[in-house]
Chain A
Amino acid sequence: MTTLEIKNLAVAVGGTQILSDVSLTIKSGEVHAVMGPNGAGKSTLSAALMGKPGYVVTSGSVKLDDVDILALPTWQRATAGLHLIMQYPTEIPGVSLQDAMSAALDMRNQDSNHLKKLIETEAKRIGFDPELVMRSVNVDFSGGEKKRSETLQLAVLQPKIAILDELDSGLDIDALRDCAQRVEDATRETNLGVLVITHYSRLFDQLKPDFVHILTNGRIVKSAGPELADELEVTGYVAYTN
């Protein structure tokens, strides 16, 4: 059982305060959806949790069980069990998915002997073309291929808590279904805890949230059960933005 505890987190970017007071507690097996309009600070939350350069935590704390996540460099946050699925996955010319995953497993002192087989199995499961595994990460990938690649990496690395930053942007319905279903499966198979950041509720058909939080103007303004997502589908964010 793992707990990611975000307490009173405030984050500034380029001197501007983007998040002012965010508290969330995510436990293994739970799915928390953070929803909000554009510019609410959703992507800032995911970047700050992973320690992206330029995102300055001005106050608050983030703990993964007893580990002070904010004190760790990015790579150690990942080896501690956090994983970020990026909204716009970066192209890495000349570095194959296979090589990146092999290096990532090495850092975790995990055997990469079965990596090839594992990647094949996982690729088949989410409909990712196995040919792409030897190609440069994300280079010339379609939107759907990028998100399938991101999901594949999550399946291979088996983190404790995953942050999904707009998994649903830039991909077709089929890819969305495959990726969301794979993450949902992980909540049951490996007890993955999920923080899913999104505008829309369309990925909730497969990935079922246990909690829904509304983020506007840098704060969580409401937290409730999955019914809140249904309400937002009808009313939008207007009621929460002022």
Chain B
Amino acid sequence: MSTIALPTVDEEIWRYSRIGELDLDSFKLGKLSTKIDASSAAKQIVSSTTNVVPRDVTDIFEDLNVRHAQLTAISIAKNQVVAEPIVITHSLHESGVVAYSRLVVEADENSEVTIVERFVSSADINSLIVPVVDVRAAQSARVTYIAINELGSATWQIGYQQAVGQRDSMMKLFTVALGGDYARMRAEVRLEGQGANSQQVALYFADENQMHDFRTLQDHAAPRTHSSLLFKGAVKDTAKSVYTGLIRIRENATKSEAFQTNRNLTLSNGAWAESVPNLEIETNDVKCSHASTVGPIDEEQRFYLESRGIQPEIAERLVVLGFFDEVLNRLPVLPFIAGLRERVSTKLLGAKL
């Protein structure tokens, strides 16, 4: 139980969300089945009982997560380089439950690791999953984290990512969201050490009645920090998506650079996407830019391909896959990346099959 009330769409961070539809009391506490694939050496750094780094609780879901989450903690020692990626797969097999996962990644000085976290449920699972991820990159640490939402079309997700980077660290945070009914992720990066670097990259594609919802923060709290964000999404049928993103440059974060790009394709007349970029800059001598677009496939691009004798459905598929390739090509080379592209392609064909 939590003493915090459920949020409402009146709060800016929940604006446009489907939080009003959630009847949290109707869900009982459920359990995720979690599988970890890693080399035997890497497995030694994974535990479920380490001292958890503290985090600020901002709402009821984070509060409940602290109380109930199944913990996975990964600690990478100073100078340790984990060659093979660690792949964590959470599966939800029960309907009518809320399940909490928490992943804590603590990368010590000059260490390196790649972690993939997959969330899987089948189409008939009517449940809620609340994942929380904390990444802590110490000086010069290099952390790559990839979240993949492969949830069924009746499963809800309300997720939180918080990544904090110290001096000269490099954090790459990827999200691929294809599944879920209402699937939300609050993805926050804080650059605390001078020269810290972050990249946030996401691909999301909702069809039928799905809704994807992203709230991002690039928080620069030290000089010469660098952040970039590229979120690309598509909505089809009557699907919806929301992106709101804030770049915050604090007073001491001089000579910092922050870039934010959000592009959305609306592939059907009934589909809807919202994009709201924001800047909050408290100092001069910084370089910031943000760009956001929402719209259908470019008519000139479609015409060009059609003029080569390619029928509209195929032309559209080529353009959308091309649109997403900019994101997929940035992902580390891993066996399942090709499968993701295939899933996007299948989803595009969707109703036509």
Contacts and interface: CB of A to CB of B under 8 A. Distances in A.
Contacts of A50: 307
B306 A95 contact: no
A90 B318 contact: no
A157 interface: yes
A103 interface: yes
B305 interface: yes
B308 A95 contact: no
Contacts, number: 82
B318 A95 contact: yes
A92 B308 contact: no
B285 interface: no
Contacts of A79: 309
Contact of B308 (A91, A93, A94, A153): A153
A8 to B, nearest CB: 24
A73 B319 CA distance: 19
Given A100-B318, A103-B314, A103-B318, A93 B307 contact: no
Interface string B314-328: 110011011111100
B14 interface: no
Majority DSSP secondary structure for residues of B touching A: helix
Contact of B307 (A78, A94, A103, A136): A78
Interface residues of A, number: 31
Interface string A51-74: 011000000000000000000011
Interface residues of B, number: 24
A36 B310 CA distance: 31
Residue in B318, B324, B325 whose Cβ sees the most chain A Cβ within 10 Å = B318
- In order of increasing CB-CB distance, the 5 nearest A-B pairs are A94-B322, A78-B309, A90-B304, A94-B325, A74-B306
Given A75-B306, A94-B326, 20 more contacts: A52-B303, A75-B307, A75-B310, A78-B307, A78-B309, A86-B307, A90-B304, A92-B318, A92-B319, A94-B321, A94-B322, A94-B324, A95-B305, A95-B322, A99-B318, A100-B305, A100-B318, A103-B310, A108-B309, A137-B304
Interface of A: 50, 52-53, 73-76, 78-79, 83-84, 86, 89-95, 99-101, 103-104, 106-108, 136-137, 153, 157
8 contacts: A73-B312, A75-B310, A89-B304, A90-B304, A91-B301, A92-B301, A95-B305, A107-B311
